[in-house]
Amino acid sequence: MGRILADLGAEVLKVEPPEGDVSRFWGKVEDGVSGFFLQQNVGKKCVTIDLKAGGAADLVLGLVREADIVIENFRPGVMERLGLGYRRLAEVNPGVILLSVTGFGQDGPNAGRAAYAPVVHAESGLMARQAQFDEAPVVDLMLALADTLAGLHGAIAVLAALRLRADTGTGQHVDVAMLDSMLASDDYAHHALDGFPIRRLRSDVWDSVAGPILLAGEFRWLWRQLSTVHGLTDGVGADADVDTKVRSRRAAVADWLRSFGNRDEMLAALEKASIATGTIQDFMSVFETDHVRFRECFATIPVAPGQARRVVQSPYRFSAAASGAQPFVARLGEHNSAALADWLGLSAAEVAELVAAGVVIQAPG
């Protein structure tokens, strides 16, 4: 969610451990910058602090004194052990908003457990439900959905807390759990709460004259539209059983989709029947499609002198404001001196003392 705030214009200072964020090694690594790190951290400044070193807590508290928001994703209790719990932060800055993102929240029987997105996908019931309806083995998602939803809900929460602070003058501790975020965002949650059997609202993929295409909507609705607007018939008698009717109708739709001379004719006929469609797009080429290029869904970021890389763009389009990926990605510890001078007024000599003491870690090179 720090990336979201940076895209919206906030100055974001990322505190990394001496070894660096593990995501610096995920994806394509080019000139020391990985694709994942670029995607998640573009526009953030970086200082490298050993939080276990003596004096590290005081340095961080100095930064907190100047901050509006602090974001952390340690397990519950770690910030307190580091001397950086919410009460201590609020002592130095009563207006600070601390957002704690964990797998299971700050309290409860599972609060202390380690959690990554796949763990929460499993415990939210999503993986089992998907396998049940696909009649397939239980497997994880190819998307860190729990991380994504917790980040989005975290961003909403801190923006709301900022708005409240404008009235009260004080900050607060915001507790966002990945599991809570998954459940709150699940449009099937009402089935579990009501104990009501799930009837999956599924859109099917069909073979067509233009290759595989998704037709949005349940088949019964699709059939009603196509039979009413285009006169499709199932070719069976009124006394045929339900299974026979469904098989015949699906075969009629499949034949109809393959009957057109080209893709445009087929799409026009589907549009006439008010049926929304989706092309089954190859993921590796999605950023080359005309619409994605027109909407500028990626930005080109300089990563080194004479070198640039593409990164996904934020989705916000304001009529009277600018937003988007900031044009830099930080090397490990790149902003040690500049950020500590800017935020805390430290001189080069004072930063050098912190480096010598092992509090601030200066990256090689």
Q: What is the DSSP string of 258-306?
A: TSSSSHHHHHHHHHHTT--EEE---GGGGGGSHHHHHTT-EEEEEEETT
State the residue for tokens 């090694």.
Answer: 25
Q: Which of 7, 21, 68, 147 is catalytic?
A: 147
User: Residue 181 contacts by C-beta under 8 Å, 6 or more apart in sequence?
Assistant: 146, 149, 150, 152, 153
SS3 101: strand
Tell me whether residue 147 is one of the annotated catalytic residues. Answer: yes
Sign of the CA dihedral with 263 first, then 265, 270, and 272 last: positive
Query: Tell me, what DSSP letter sits at residue 204?
Result: E
Contact 327, 313 (CB under 8 A): no
Rg (CA), the chain: 26
| Dihedral, CA of residue 98, residue 102, residue 107 and residue 109, to nearest 10 | 180
Active-site amino acid positions = 147
